[in-house]
C-alpha cells in the first residue's frame, strides 16, 4: 500500500518539525513546512499505546529530490504524480483523500486548502504558541474594531 511518510512526534516537538524529520528519516528528502492540511482523529486504535490517535497531515516543500529510502521503515519510496496517486487502488483511504486535496490545491491554489501557522504570544509572559488556521484576508489581519 502506498502512503505518505509519517510517525510519532517527540516530546516538545512541533507538528511541522515532526513532519520534516519523519520525511527525512524515511526518504532522505530535505523539506520545509508549508502548512497543515488535515487532521484525522481515531480512538481505540491498536498500536496507539492505549491513547486516542491524531494523524496530522502537513504540506512540505522539498529542498532535495534524491530519495534514500530507509529500509527499516519502508519497502519502497518513490515520487508519484498526484493524478496517478488519486487513481491507484493500492493505497489507504486517507492517502487517496489527501492526494485529491493536494491535487485540488495544486490546480486551484493552496490558499483554498492550507491551514497556515502563526506564532502568537501566550497569556504567560515570554511564552508563545502556534495557531493553525485558514489565512485571513489582509483587511482582517490587523482589525482593531468594527471599521
Q: Which residues participate in catalysis according to the annotation?
A: 25
DSSP codes joined into one string, 46-58: TTSTTS-EEEEEE
What gap in Å lies between CA 103 and CA 86, rounded to an integer? 8
Ramachandran category for residue 3: left, alpha or beta (phi over 0 → left; psi -120 to 50 → alpha): beta
19, HSE (Cβ side, Cα atoms, 13 Å): 20
Amino acid at each position: 500500500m502506498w502512503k505518505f511518510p509519517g510517525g510519532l512526534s517527540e516530546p516538545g516537538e512541533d507538528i511541522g518539525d515532526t513532519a520534516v524529520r519523519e520525511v527525512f528519516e524515511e526518504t532522505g528528502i530535505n523539506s520545509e513546512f508549508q502548512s497543515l492540511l488535515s487532521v484525522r482523529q481515531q480512538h481505540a486504535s491498536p498500536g496507539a499505546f492505549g491513547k486516542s490517535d491524531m494523524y496530522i497531515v502537513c504540506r512540505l516543500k522539498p529542498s532535495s529530490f534524491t530519495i534514500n529510502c530507509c529500509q527499516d521503515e519502508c519497502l519502497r519510496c518513490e515520487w508519484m504524480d498526484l493524478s496517478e496517486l488519486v487513481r491507484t487502488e493500492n493505497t489507504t483511504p486517507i492517502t487517496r483523500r489527501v492526494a485529491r486535496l493536494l491535487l485540488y490545491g495544486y490546480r486551484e491554489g493552496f490558499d483554498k486548502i492550507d491551514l497556515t501557522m502563526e506564532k502568537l504570544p501566550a497569556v504567560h509572559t515570554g511564552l508563545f504558541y502556534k495557531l493553525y488556521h485558514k489565512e485571513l484576508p489582509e483587511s482582517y489581519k490587523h482589525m482593531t474594531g468594527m471599521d
